[in-house]
Structure 1
Amino acid sequence: MKLNSRVSSLSERSGIRYFTFIALYFAEGLPMGILFIGIPAWMAMNNKTVTEIGAFDVACAMPWTFKFFIAPMMDRYTFLPMGRKRPWVIICQTGLFLSLLVMASIKDPLNHLSLLIAGGFFVSIFGAAQDAATDGLAVDNIPPEEQARANAFMGGARMIGSSFALALSTWLLERYNFFVSTAAIGIMVGLITLVPILIREHQEERLFPWSEGQATKSNNEIQVNSWIEMYRSLYAAFSLKNAFLLALLLFLSQGSYNYFEKLLPIFAVKVTGWTHIYYSNAFAVADLTGGIAGILLGGWLLERFGMKRMIYIYFSFICAQALLLSFLKLYWTNTTYLYSYIVVYRWVNAFAKIGVFAIAMQCCSKRVSASQFTFYMTIGAVGSMVGAALISPVKNNFSWEISFIFFAIMMVICAINLRALNIEKLEQQIEGLEDCNKIRNE
């Protein structure tokens, strides 16, 4: 009990909440930096084909579509004396750490692409599970008035983690080898696992399984104890028209982003003549500065001017950027132009993601927080996988100019979808469903 009294909980202080989720989303971004950016650029630099790079991208994106299968397990089964989601966060974070060490052990990965693809798939399984658990922890413990700012912190931390891992792993890969590069990221993930181990959800809960403590009354009240009850709650939530529109927005926006961001390293290496190291460093700088800007400004802009208005602006700006890149072929080999382009794009992209994710968190029921938020994120992951899969057929049949115009059209469709979404109505409907469940349980 002496140890428990010295350790703060998520429910007590906003500072503890922000610190915890910044750390966990930073950890989530670490493997993303090497899997989704660093390794594809490295493969392009070593003359791997667009199809081979696309296969790796799809393998890394695919496990993120499986999150909806594990999230209901997290809602249904947990060890309440240690919190609703904290036990799962600890387990998944540990699995992410170990899977990165396993991937690091692959010898000569460029000549054993099947093993490299399998390794990326294995790491992404635990990355997706850690994301589902952390998302559920966030929905359960972040009050509505903090969600826009918290999403800015979380999204910014993930970008900073991704950029940091990208820069560090690329440097280690060039100076040493694949094992050192990947293992270093794994060790960092392992160290961050100490955060959920030492910080509880509520003060009266156990810090460790053998510690003294008990489940909170509030968690006991919202805990779903049957699969029928869970699926009834999920069906009611997702049968709403605006819930469908929100899921569609995540599918379209994440698919669009991943399509474009998988084209960029191939474009930079094969057209502009960059090395994978230079591209990785440029992207790292873009994500680092974009992440910091997201933390400082992302939440404030959403609170000050409104979510939908700001996301419209972001979508419009990204669309204009894509058209500009398509039409200014004369500047494609200009390093300064492309470098500046990537930095500006990643800034605006960070703000847009923060806004859409904040809407998704705001429109979730606490009873099935992991499942509902994960469903939204899974739909986004399916979109990402589809976006990555589009690279090969589009680039093999169309010019770079047309490929970029496709991205601009995608962003226009995202804006039209956002226009049809009624956020306020969806929030009211979710609150009504929770009230009905309380009455039924009484």
Structure 2
Amino acid sequence: MKASQPKTRQHLSLTDNALTRYFTFSALYIAQGIPEGITFFAIPAWMAMNGKSPMEIAAFVAVIGIPWSFKILIAPLMDRFTLLNMGRKRPWVIFGQLGLIISFLSLGLVSDPLYNSFGLMTAGFFISFFGAFQDVATDGMAVDVIPETEQAKANGLMWGTKVIGTSASFVIGTWLINTVGFSIAVSSLSVAVAAIMFFPIYFRERPGEKLMPWTPGEAAPDSKQTQLRSWKHIFKSLYKVIRLKSSVVFGIGVFAIGIMFGLMEVHLPLFTIQELGWTNTFFSQVLSISMVAGGLLGMIVGGYLVDYFGKIKMLTLYLGILTILISAFASMSSLWSNNIVVYIFLMSYFALYTFLCIAVFASAMHLCWKTVAATQFTLYMAANNMGRSAGAALMGVLKTNFSWEFIFVCIALIPVFMAILMQFVNFKKHRVRVDSFVLLNQTLVAPRVIKE
């Protein structure tokens, strides 16, 4: 036996065990969902409950959305640099998770947060920054180690657990804020984020790699072959794949649907609290139940539906139903006082939201080239988050000038645009082109691997 090859159990590596992959990525997505539930839902609802204006709430959501829009600046660093003997992306996942823990704790230290907009926005910005950082690394690692046949199923579990983490932190966070105060509420939830650090520390990407820099292990051969060490090759490879028609069309589509998500994220707490007269506690409970139900459905059948019927068919179906649902609700203003009608709308919307996100993520992974997976996948997600931020900012303008009904109708038109665009995406043709790039890339990387 070679002295340099450490003994590792097979279940400790993500590439060798499907259950390990599912548990690890689900846990990491819960870690993203907990602070997101606080920053994107609980705090805006809390602000609305305390009489803050739509412009103030929209400004907060827009600011915390900025880091998610610029993930593309982080991703190339992860594709270019890493501690390869610990894995291509796992070192970055650990770093991002650590930063997320620290920044989430710092939110609880903001004094008088309701009247300290600068402090609240600054802490929220850094939570989003490290959340985005961890997200880029996690997604890059997922594209790298999850087989194509498992991508839809894995995305169903990942996105479902994130939605559950978001909704659970939303309702628990809202209850804690109203019961024990802002600082204790945020600090309490940060403990759960810290506990999830166990997963990226304990599970390797590939057999034989180091757990930590000071433990024994070595880089896996396929990691050496895939990893590029030249900025020129990274950006040249990225340009080759993103200029393909399906990449361009998909990027425009996810930006458009991001605008819808951003509008709804700001619209719902304003609409239910300031128009319907709900309390932030009641809103958090209803929204949490709706999100959990959607998340559970997504985990159970979301991935299987995409696998069975195909990505384009399911994307088109979800987008079409979303348009009908939102348009129908806009035309029922006389029934908005009936809570049952609102419950049905919210539960239907969040179920469709979860299913749509699963299909979008699985589609984005399928379009990615592993050599630049972190950067390419992040480019799609950055386009979506730029749309979210734009939608959040746009909400303040729309509410100042237009009625609730008109805003709902505007939101309902966005899925139609994306559904039309998705008909121009061809996954089979795209994969053929990417496979031809892989063969060319091996001629670039192989001589360097031999020399090392």
Calculate the TM-score normalised by the size of structure 1.
Answer: 0.98
The CA distance in 2 between the partners of 1:428 and 1:60, in whole Å, is 38
Kept in 2, the 8 Å contact 1:167–1:281? The answer is yes
Map of 1:126 onto structure 2 = 130
Q: Residues 54-69 of structure 1: matches in 2 within 5 Å? A: 54-69=58-73
For 1:416, the aligned partner's letter is I
Write the deviation string for residues 181-230 of structure 1: whole angstroms up to 9, x where unpaired. Answer: 11122111111011100000011001111111100000000101011111
Show the counterpart of 1:420: 424
Cα deviation code 1:104-158 (max 9, x no counterpart): 1012100111111111111100000010000001000001000011111111011
Alpha-carbon distance, 1:32 to partner = 0.8
1:16 counterpart residue number? 20
Output aligned runs, 1:157-176, within 5 Å: 157-176=161-180
CA contact (8 A) 1:75 1:370 kept: yes
Matched, 1:139 2:143: yes
User: Shift of residue 178 of structure 1?
Assistant: 0.5
1:82 corresponds to: 86
Alpha-carbon distance in 2 for matches of 1:44, 1:294? 30
Q: Is the 8 A contact 2:11 2:20 kept in 1?
A: no
Give the conservation status (yes or no) of the 8 Å contact 1:4–1:207.
no
CA distance in 1, matches of 2:96, 2:327: 41
Partner of 2:261: 257
Q: Distance in 1 between matches of 2:105 and 2:7?
A: 32
| Deviating more after overlay: 189-198 vs 421-430 | 421-430
Residue 217 of structure 1 is matched in structure 2 by 221
> 1:93 aligned to 87, 91, 97, which one?
97
Partner of residue 248, structure 1: 252
Deviation at 1:423, TM superposition (A): 2.1
| SS in structure 2 of the partner of residue 202 of structure 1 | coil
Secondary structure of the residue that 2:12 maps to in structure 1? Answer: coil
Deviations 1:4-58 (A, max 9, x none): 4486110111011001001001111111111111111110010000000001000
Aligned to 1:294: 298
Q: Residue 379 of structure 2: SS of its match in structure 1?
A: helix
Secondary structure class of the residue paired with 1:57 = helix
Give 1:407's match in structure 2, choosing from 411, 415, 437. 411
Contact 1:272–1:335 (CA under 8 A) maintained in structure 2: no
Q: Classify 1:6/1:321 alpha carbon distance in 2 versus 1 (closer, same or farther; 3 Å).
A: closer
Question: Partner residue of 1:334?
Answer: 338
- Once the two structures are TM-superposed, the CA of residue 3 in structure 1 deviates from its matched residue by 7.8
Q: How does 1:97-108 map to 2 (within 5 A)?
A: 97-108=101-112
Does 1:232 pair with 2:236?
A: yes
Matched, 1:196 2:193: no
Contact 1:7 1:198 in 2 (8 A): no
Which amino acid letter does the alignment assign opposite residue 134 of structure 1?
A: T
Amino acid at match of 2:211: L
State the partner residue of 2:183. Answer: 179
Q: How far apart are the structure 2 equivalents of 1:441 and 1:110?
A: 54
SS in 2 for 1:207: coil
The verdict on how the C-alpha distance between 1:440 and 1:78 changes in structure 2, with shifts beyond 3 A counting, is closer
Structure 2: tracts of 5 or more residues without a match: 447-452
Determine helix, strand or coil for the equivalent of 1:107: coil
Compute the displacement of 1:439 (Å): 2.9
Provide, for residues 215-254 of structure 1, a one-character-per-residue CA deviation record: whole Å limited to 9, x for no partner. 0000000101011111110111111121100111110112
Counterpart selection for 1:116 from 98, 102, 120: 120
Distance 2:388 2:431 in 1: 26
Match of residue 39 from structure 2: 35
Give the Cα–Cα distance (whole angstroms) in 1 for the partners of residues 445 and 352 of structure 2: 45
Alpha-carbon RMSD across the aligned residues, in angstroms, is: 1.3
Q: Is the 8 A contact 2:291 2:351 kept in 1?
A: yes
| Matched-pair contact (CA < 8 Å) for 2:10–2:17 | no
Tell me if the contact between 2:10 and 2:207 (Cα under 8 Å) persists in the aligned partners. Answer: no
- Which of 302, 306, 314 is the aligned partner of 1:310? 314
Q: Pick which of 266-275 and 180-189 moved more.
A: 180-189
Q: Which amino acid aligns with 2:90?
A: R
Q: Does 1:323 align with 2:327?
A: yes
Q: 2:450 — aligned with what?
A: none
SS at match of 1:420: coil
AA of the residue aligned to 2:62: V
**Once the two structures are superposed, what CA deviation does each residue of 1:359-412 show, in whole Å capped at 9, x if it has no partner?**
000110111111111111111111111111110111111111110000111111
- Count of paired positions: 442
Q: Take 2:405 and 2:424, find their aligned partners in 1: how far apart are those partners?
A: 30
Map of 2:449 onto structure 1: none
Greater mean alpha carbon deviation, residues 176-185 or residues 423-432: 423-432
State the AA in 2 paired with 1:36.
F
**Helix, strand or coil for the counterpart of 2:320?**
helix
1:148 is the counterpart of 2:144: no
Q: Distance in 2 between matches of 1:278 and 1:2?
A: 54
- The answer to whether the Cα contact below 8 Å between 1:255 and 1:384 also exists between their aligned partners in 2 is yes
For 2:203, the aligned partner's letter is I
Shift, 1:333, TM fit = 1.5
Distance change in 2, residues 1:404/1:40 (3 Å) = same
Residues in 1 aligned to 2:8 and 2:98: alpha-carbon distance in whole angstroms? 22
Deviation at residue 440 of structure 1 after TM alignment: 3.6
Structure-2 separation of matches of 1:291 and 1:5: 32
Looking at structure 2, the residues matched to 423 and 12 of structure 1 have their Cα atoms a distance apart, in angstroms, of 27
What is the rounded CA distance, in whole Å, between the counterparts of 1:419 and 1:328 in structure 2?
31
Partner of 2:271: 267
- CA distance in 2 between partners of 1:337 and 1:285 (Å): 15
**Contact 2:327–2:408, Cα closer than 8 Å, also in 1:** yes
